[in-house]
Amino acid sequence: LFIRSEKWIRPDRTVVTICPYCGVGCSLDLKISEDRILSVTPSRDGAVNRGQACVKGHFGLEEIIHHPDRFTTPLIKRNGQFEPASWDEALDLVARRFTEIQDRYGPDSLGAFSSSRCTNEENYLVQKLARAVFKTNNVDNCARVCHAPSVTGLAACFGSGAATNSFDQIEDADVLFIIGSNTTEAHPVVSLKIIKAARNGAKIIVADPRKIELVDRASVWLNQKPGTSIALINAMMNVILKEGLEDRDFIDRRTMGFENLQKTVEEYPPERASQITGVAAEDIIEAARLYASADKAMIIYGLGITEHTTGTSNVMSLGNLAMLTGNVGRRSTGIMPLRGQNNVQGACDMGALPNVHVGYQPVTDAGIRSKFEEAWKVALPSVPGQTSTQMIERNPGKEIRGLYILGEDPAHTEPDTNRVRSTLESLDFLVVQEIFPTETTRYADVILPAASFAECDGTFTNGERRIQRVRKAIPALCGQENWLTICQIAQRMGYPMSYGHPSEIMDEIASLAPMFAGVKFDRLDDGGLQWPIPSLDHPGTETLHAESFSCGLGRFNAVQHKYPAEQTDTEYPLILTTGRRREHYNCGSMTRRSKGIMWVWPEEAIEISPADARELEIEDGETVVVSSRRGSVKTKARVTDKSSRGMAFMSFHYQDVLTNLLTNAALDPQAKTPEYKACAVKIEKL
Ligand code: SF4
């Protein structure tokens, strides 16, 4: 029984679905009465969480679903003001304007940002809309600004760009090497598995520029400077080779390119790496010995690895370390990239990327293309499209003029947001589909309301490749589910896209992508399945690369240290690194609307070390101005020993403190992911 408006209410049903926040993929029970969510609690038999959830899953959802700020009707901008419109009127306008732009400037003047917050089925339809209807490969998702280097880097090592193992296996590892991941804040339920592993006797190595909570559990803390992971890992491999701790049998049987790697890591004795990273040479040696001596050593990493101009090389460096010691292809070993948004894995799997169809099948492969052309009954573009980070630049001769953005907020989350705002302003036509007003919806010509996770049927794929069922708990507050809206845009643009239910979309996905051939909605009811699932009787794959790598032999990729693109100087003397707080999520458009969460963490603050605070004569709690070469924000200062001297930290959850006005848009050359984790700033008293 629940008390609401002084009345006792008994739920009339419980619907089990998946948390819409991070990539852990916790199962949640939604208790409902008369189409209102009464409570959200973690499911006891959730495949990943088993009755656990973090503060966001517990308290950050119930009031958000029915929040009065929700968009419930389409809005069309007229004379600078948004006015309500019918679905027919809004969709007719969207289709007409996109068709006009396509006719006048060509298909590549259109683009689509799909959403790592939306279901697999919605992502599949957005990329199909881009390819089959817009006739362009200009489609991408927010993995571009977080884990695209994981896809390119892990694929370069192993042939598959995904987590190699399962979250449960963390608990049985002997050593966990956690690098660039503040797991307790960003992926709290995974951090509980790390803590359980530590209680079981596992040794923890933490590499992080901040004194994060897991440092208290660590045998070694490698307090590295931001952007120095390659030097650190190369030095660990230098020690491993010097002390004969490598797995020769694994190297000989299962890998190629070892000689090149050996030559490169010879250049990184711990003493040299110490100068680059700021980590004591003896700590590097201790970490190397611990990792290499374990029977089962697992690497867990986050955006501290990927959001650098060396993001792909950082990931490849971790692949080198795992292969050098034979720590891949077995239970409780391997590499676990912790995905940020709940379906960032699935958005990539579904082909919401500019270079691949669903199941990572290249758009440039003529055989693959003709398979899709036959299935979709339309000619398809063969040239890879632009990434989201490229679409947001105004590339001369390649300008995007019409853009469809589903469930993303680039005006808040892209780096150097002044640049992004001016691009959005300059578009001929912008359609944004969202559940709440955001920074990006301000620039829209048409806002299409979106259904939330509680109003959709479909699937999400979590960070361990587990495809789980998302179940519709209540009718869509905006009148229709998102997959239907995408179909209606396609139909109005002359393409017959039509399905009766999201399960039919998954059936089409399974028929076109061999790695998903065994997926059917009714097979996912009991905790989901981990891909690859190549046939209907296949049980799914807990551990990748057990017999051989997806590319045959694993490939060592020798990589060299490179400093972050922006360095400090006398004017901008501090390095700013950005990340998340446990209570909030991404641009905060959802969590900032939860009273409970705002009570716990109401505002942004820049974290600085006591030494820097003393030098700048800044008190804890004082309001300061933080400036980079791109912009300024006003925020409070928090003086904490979590920050090392010369380093500051901010999250990016608040609309009144747009941290990304400061961050640097310099890109990783392979994955085109920006360097959010290191830019130069100054802090001034107000
Ligand atoms: Fe689980 Fe992540 Fe949701 Fe927290 S935010 S409940 S860890 S899925």
Which pTM value belongs to this model?
Answer: 0.96
- Report the chain's mean pLDDT, rounded to a whole number: 96
Sort 537 into a burial class: Cβ within 10 Å, 0-12 / 13-18 / 19+.
exposed
* 100 CA to centre of ligand 1 in angstroms: 42
Q: Please indicate, yes or no, whether residues 495 and 353 belong to a single structural domain of this protein.
A: yes
Mutate to test the pocket of ligand 1, among 56, 58, 192, 453 (most ligand atoms within 8 A of CB): 56
* 116 CA to centre of ligand 1 in angstroms: 15
* Torsion over CA: 85, 88, 92, 98 (sign): positive
Per the domain annotation, does 131 fall within a domain?
Answer: yes
Q: Please indicate, yes or no, whether residues 281 and 355 belong to a single structural domain of this protein.
A: no
The token duo for 331 is 């239970």
Per the domain annotation, does 558 fall within a domain?
Answer: no
Q: Please indicate, yes or no, whether residues 127 and 232 belong to a single structural domain of this protein.
A: no
Here the CATH number for the domain that contains residue 649 is 2.40.40.20
**What is the reported pLDDT for 394?**
72
Q: Is the pLDDT of residue 60 over 90?
A: no
Mutate to test the pocket of ligand 1, among 27, 48, 49, 345 (most ligand atoms within 8 A of CB): 49
Encode pLDDT of 498-516 as tens digits: 999 999 999 999 999 999 9
Q: Please indicate, yes or no, whether residues 119 and 164 belong to a single structural domain of this protein.
A: no
d(CA 615, CA 603): 25
**What is the reported pLDDT for 260?**
98
Counting from 1 in the atom list of ligand 1, the atom nearest the Cα of 49 is 1
The token duo for 46 is 């959730």
* 591 CA to centre of ligand 1 in angstroms: 13
Q: Please indicate, yes or no, whether residues 136 and 155 belong to a single structural domain of this protein.
A: no
378-381-385 Cα angle (round to 5): 140
What share of the chain has pLDDT > 90, as a percent?
A: 94
Concatenated DSSP letters for 301-320?
E-HHHHSSTTHHHHHHHHHH
Mutate to test the pocket of ligand 1, among 18, 30, 48, 54 (most ligand atoms within 8 A of CB): 54
Q: Is the pLDDT of residue 6 over 90?
A: no
> How confident is residue 606, by pLDDT bands cut at 50, 70 and 90?
very high
Per the domain annotation, does 388 fall within a domain?
Answer: yes
Among 323, 338, 353, where does a domain finish?
Answer: 338
In three-state secondary structure terms, 655 is: coil
d(CA 311, CA 148): 9
**What is the reported pLDDT for 397?**
76
Ligand 1, CB within 6 Å, residue ranges: 19, 21-22, 24-26, 49, 53-54, 56-57, 187-189
Among 293, 315, 338, where does a domain finish?
Answer: 338
Q: Please indicate, yes or no, whether residues 100 and 220 belong to a single structural domain of this protein.
A: no
Q: Is the pLDDT of residue 2 over 90?
A: no
The token duo for 364 is 């440039």
Counting from 1 in the atom list of ligand 1, the atom nearest the Cα of 585 is 5
Mean pLDDT over residues 366-386, rounded? Answer: 98
Is 472 in contact with 524 (CB distance < 8 Å)? no
Q: Please indicate, yes or no, whether residues 223 and 114 belong to a single structural domain of this protein.
A: no
Among 277, 308, 338, where does a domain finish?
Answer: 338
Counting from 1 in the atom list of ligand 1, the atom nearest the Cα of 55 is 4
d(CA 39, CA 28): 10
ipTM for the whole complex: 1.00
**What is the reported pLDDT for 650?**
97
Counting from 1 in the atom list of ligand 1, the atom nearest the Cα of 57 is 6
Per the domain annotation, does 466 fall within a domain?
Answer: no
Per the domain annotation, does 515 fall within a domain?
Answer: no
Encode pLDDT of 624-642 as tens digits: 999 999 999 999 999 999 9
Express the helix, strand and coil content of the chain in percent, nearest 5 each: 35, 20, 45
Q: Please indicate, yes or no, whether residues 289 and 218 belong to a single structural domain of this protein.
A: yes
Is 308 in contact with 187 (CB distance < 8 Å)? no
Per the domain annotation, does 507 fall within a domain?
Answer: no
**What is the reported pLDDT for 49?**
96
Counting from 1 in the atom list of ligand 1, the atom nearest the Cα of 48 is 1
* 26 CA to centre of ligand 1 in angstroms: 6
d(CA 393, CA 420): 7
Q: Please indicate, yes or no, whether residues 325 and 359 belong to a single structural domain of this protein.
A: no
Encode pLDDT of 75-124 as tens digits: 999 999 999 999 999 999 999 999 999 999 999 999 999 999 999 999 99
Q: Please indicate, yes or no, whether residues 621 and 671 belong to a single structural domain of this protein.
A: yes
400-403-404 Cα angle (round to 5): 160
Pairing of strands 220-222, 466-470: unpaired
Q: Is the pLDDT of residue 3 over 80?
A: no
* 20 CA to centre of ligand 1 in angstroms: 8
Q: Please indicate, yes or no, whether residues 269 and 200 belong to a single structural domain of this protein.
A: yes
Pairing of strands 7-9, 13-18: unpaired
Encode pLDDT of 387-440 as tens digits: 999 998 877 777 999 999 999 999 999 999 999 999 999 999 999 999 999 999
Q: Report the number of distinct structural domains present in the chain.
A: 4
Per the domain annotation, does 464 fall within a domain?
Answer: no
**What is the reported pLDDT for 393?**
83
* Residue (of 5, 57, 59, 10) closest to 32 by Cα position: 10
**What is the reported pLDDT for 519?**
98
Q: Is the pLDDT of residue 1 over 80?
A: no
3-class DSSP string for 66-83: CCCCCCCCCEEEECCEEE
Counting from 1 in the atom list of ligand 1, the atom nearest the Cα of 187 is 7
Per the domain annotation, does 521 fall within a domain?
Answer: no
Structural domain for 165, as ranges? 148-338
Mutate to test the pocket of ligand 1, among 16, 17, 18, 22 (most ligand atoms within 8 A of CB): 22
Mutate to test the pocket of ligand 1, among 29, 183, 187 (most ligand atoms within 8 A of CB): 187
Q: Please indicate, yes or no, whether residues 44 and 110 belong to a single structural domain of this protein.
A: no
d(CA 190, CA 449): 33
* Torsion over CA: 40, 46, 51, 52 (sign): negative
**What is the reported pLDDT for 565?**
98
* 193 CA to centre of ligand 1 in angstroms: 13
* 575 CA to centre of ligand 1 in angstroms: 30
Here the CATH number for the domain that contains residue 102 is 3.40.50.740
Encode pLDDT of 197-252 as tens digits: 999 999 999 999 999 999 999 999 999 999 999 999 999 999 999 999 999 999 99
Encode pLDDT of 117-143 as tens digits: 999 999 999 999 999 999 999 999 999
Q: Is the pLDDT of residue 559 over 80?
A: yes
Ramachandran assignment for 576, one of left (phi > 0), alpha (psi -120 to 50 degrees), beta (any other)? beta
